[in-house]
Amino acid sequence: MVRIIGFFVGLGFCLVLAIAFFTGAYNQITNPPAETAEKEFHLHPKPLALESNGPFGKFDRAQLQRGFQVYKEVCSACHSLKFVAFRDLKDLGYSDAEVKAIADQWVIQQPSINPDTGEPATRKSVPADHFPAPFANEIAARAANNNALPPDLSLMTKAREGGAAYVHSLITGYRDQPAELLKKFPTAKTPKGLHYNPYFANLNIAMPPPLVSDGQVQYTDGTKPTVDQMGTDVAAFLTWTAEPKLERRHGIGVAAFIFLLVFSVLTYMSYQNIWASKKRELAHS
């Protein structure tokens, strides 16, 4: 009796799923979703070739230092790196003295009040500190950015589909709205205070173009600072902030693959050696 009831219950579930599937398919065919500006004009990130790409990828230290320079001179005015400590910059090739000098350029707000002035107490950063936020709190950040909250960039290449390619395409992809878009979707005009960017999900982003011209950052290693080069370098740097142990992970992966390959060969040879005599006995029996 229980089996019969269970059978009919399962049959009912299958029937409900079938009805839901065919109803959804019918509605999709008869009433397809309306075309939107976002769906038609949104672009996927352009491929970005970095030294860290692929299973054997390694970071280009010179590029990471250039990317950090772009972050420091352009991005840090609005965006934080709360999961990165100054001492982590040693992985980019900076010496202890250089890391200390870099940290000294940032000011940390203390959770206390200066008894002499009544103002919030501050101090210079040290290598053990994490990069401080550019704003005291979310209210201050929104007030300075047209009510938009600049996201932290520490894990940005992991948080966005496309990773480093998305970052590069976004910060170098600002342009005027296409006439075709305004003709087809007259109500999709970019609102005041926003900026058209086809690589952003809804095409309009509050962040102004961060890289506006070649030479905006003067590289210390002599590399020509074009907008595309600066965008590539900061994307590489943010790849490192999101996964600083990438090279170690790749190395462990290669070692594990070699171990498993050798182990498989030895296992097969052992199998052949152990069972060879048994096979001959079976063949002659």
| Nearest residue to 48 (alpha-carbon basis) of 167, 188, 181 | 167
| Interior/surface letters 98-131, b for 16+ CB within 10 angstroms, e for the rest | ebeebbeebebeeeeeeeeeeeeeeeebebeebb
Q: Is 130 flagged in the annotation as binding? A: no
| Residues 6 or more apart in contact with residue 160 via CB below 8 angstroms | 166, 167
Alpha-carbon distances, residue 63 vs 57, 223, 247 (angstroms):
14, 10, 15
What are the beta bridge partners of residue 108? Answer: 123
Q: Is 14 known to sit in a ligand binding site?
A: no
- Torsions phi, psi of 145, nearest 5? -135, 45
Q: Residue 132 forms beta bridges with which residues?
A: none
Q: Annotated binding residue at 44?
A: no
**In which element (H, E) is residue 205 found?**
strand 204-205
Residue pair 90/99 in contact (Cβ under 8 Å)? The answer is yes
Are 204 and 41 in contact by the 8 Å Cβ rule? The answer is no
Q: Which residues are annotated as a binding site for heme c?
A: 75, 78-79, 207
Q: Which residues are annotated as a binding site?
A: 75, 78-79, 207
